[in-house]
Structure 1
Amino acid sequence: METFVSGGVEIAYSDFEPLSEDRREPIVLVHGFASTHAVNWMFTQWVKTLTEDGRRVIAFDNRGHGRSQKLYDPAQYALDLMAQDVANLLDHLSIARADVMGYSLGARIATVLTLTRPERVRSLVLGGIGQYLVQEAGLPGGLAEAMEAERIEDVENPMLKIFRGFAESTRSDLRALAACVRGARKAIDPGLLAQIACPVLICVGTRDDVAGDPSPLEPLFRDVRLVDIPGRDHNRAVGDRIYKQAVLEFLATRP
């Protein structure tokens, strides 16, 4: 991975060239909480899928995650700052405009980027996020404390225990993740979504209790398509073939 500095924070990223001779527009991938660019996008074969489709793929580790700098002040994880990291990465790579796909927390970051820097986003793909994009402040309550618990056995809530186990499996800095939870908790005003003029695709597993039902989002966007990922929960939906096919079709047909 290479690195650059975004607002004083070192961000690690990878820039993958298209594998197809039919070169298409670049796409930026924004991973979810406690994940990394590798776990979210490489191990699930997303990078392979998109580069074989002729796309330049830029994937990075969010601040506090993976190989990017770890921060312990919750204020450093405000969604506006995390969205600005994406814009700064595009600047660093001299990319004026790109398709942007985010998953879970990454979908929130991608939404904020589209609202604050609409000229940088050609189209928006939201995975693993439904009604909770606007109905909740984000990551579940008690999650920061679950990251700070001395042992995973001390976490009683089953969903929070799954998050803690995932964070441990990705060898995350648990103290940095606790700060991220506290700093990134912000509900997005549903009235703002009508300002997004670019095409939007939302893909959510039908068993995804973390994301919530995506159907309440449909009337909030100007140009949106919803796709159900049958039988998949929050974690298993990420690499699903139906999700991938929907994204490829969306990217091929959007203006």
Structure 2
Amino acid sequence: MAFFQHEGLELHYIDEGPRDGFPVMLVHGFASSILVNWQEPGWVDTLTKAGLRVIAFDHRGHGKSAKPHDASFYTPRAMASDADALLEHLNLERAVFFGYSMGARVSAYAALHYQSRVAALVLGGLGYGLIDGVGDWDPIAEALLAPSLADVTDERGRMFRSFADRTRSDRLALAACISTSREEPSADEVATITVPVLIGVGTRDDIAGSAQKLANLMPNAHAFDIAGRDHMLAVGDRTFKAEVLRFLNENGFTLAD
């Protein structure tokens, strides 16, 4: 396993695919990991077979990375700085950033604060919720801190607690993360993102907000409806994979035949 150091934290990452392929930085969602968000749904295989170099890291507090319990470690800008540090570690100048859910928020912050690093954006599982929020997540924090799943009555809280239990996550780290990772950029800030952007949201996703409304803010953004998928199932959808490959090809990133 490969690790790099940033801000005193040891962070796990992967670097797969052809060395001469254009880099794609995969940024996973809350309570997830490289394995759950990108490897198991087939994204790493899909992108490397298309001739792309795939880089991904486990967020602080997640997967095989360090798990501080201090909420100050988990702002979107702090987590975006991990992606910047990983590119520096690998001596890479730029990458396409592909984030899902919380990872989409982190990727948007990378585009705002590390502009030279971001060649294009793919935002999955997050539409206009990037700006106006994705609802009340306090019940999720409470669910993560509950003694057991049986003690959780909130529906969304049960969904995320069950997911955290299945992935054997550090629930104290996740509760700290959720308290500060929801920081939202303004519409005016998002409107300054000029790189090509693809926004994919499931038509049954009741968390993400409108993909089209978010796309309308940016001069070079396109919305894609992931038909019949909710927030948890959209990430691995085959039509979403096809659309991401089309987007990357259309914007000049080298793909295999």
Report the TM range for the smaller structure's normalisation: over 0.9
Alignment-derived partner of residue 143 in structure 1: 140
Whole-Å separation in 2 of the counterparts to 1:137 and 1:217:
13
Letter in 2 for 1:7: E
Q: How many residues align?
A: 252
Residue 81 of structure 2: aligned partner: 84
Distance in 2 separating the partners of 1:72 and 1:165: 20
Paired residue for 1:31? 28
The code of the aligned residue for 2:77 comes to: D
Distance in 1, matches of 2:237 and 2:18, equals: 21
| AA of the residue aligned to 1:62 | H
Shift, 1:137, TM fit: 6.5
Distance 1:229 1:185 in 2: 24
The CA deviation at 1:138 is 7.1
Structure 1 runs not aligned, ≥5 long: none
Residue of structure 2 aligned with 1:220, choices 190, 195, 217: 217
* Aligned counterpart in structure 1 of residue 112 of structure 2, from 108, 111, 115: 115
1:241 is matched with: 238
Runs of 4+ in 1 over 6 A off after TM superposition: none
Write the distance in 1 (CA, Å) between the matches of 2:26 and 2:240: 14
Matched letter for residue 190 of structure 2: L
Q: Could you list the per-position Cα deviations for residues 155-183 of structure 1 after superposition, in whole angstroms to 9, with x for gaps in the alignment? A: 11111100100011111000000000012
- Match of 1:13? 13
Task: Sort the Cα spacing of 1:138 and 1:97 in 2 relative to 1 into closer, same or farther, 3 A.
Answer: farther
What SS does structure 2 have at the residue aligned with 1:122? Answer: strand
Gaps of 5+ in 2: 253-257
Taking only the aligned residue pairs, the percentage that are identical comes to 46
Distance 2:125 2:202 in 1: 7
Give the counterpart letter for 1:13 in structure 2.
Answer: Y
Give the direction of change, closer, same or farther, for the CA distance of 1:139–1:78 in structure 2 (3 Å limit). Answer: farther
Counterparts of 1:141 and 1:246 in 2: how far apart (Å)?
Answer: 34
CA shift, 1:17, in A, is 1.9
Q: TM-score, length-normalised on structure 2?
A: 0.95
1:70 matched to 2:105? The reply is no
How large is the Cα RMSD of the aligned pairs?
1.3
Query: Secondary structure, in 3 states, of the residue corresponding to 1:195?
Result: coil
Normalised by the size of structure 1, how large is the TM-score? 0.96
Distance (whole Å) between structure 2 residues aligned to residue 253 and residue 214 of structure 1: 20
1:175 partnered with 2:175: no
Alignment correspondent of 1:101: 98
Q: 1:138/1:56 Cα in 2 relative to 1: closer, same or farther (>3 Å)?
A: farther
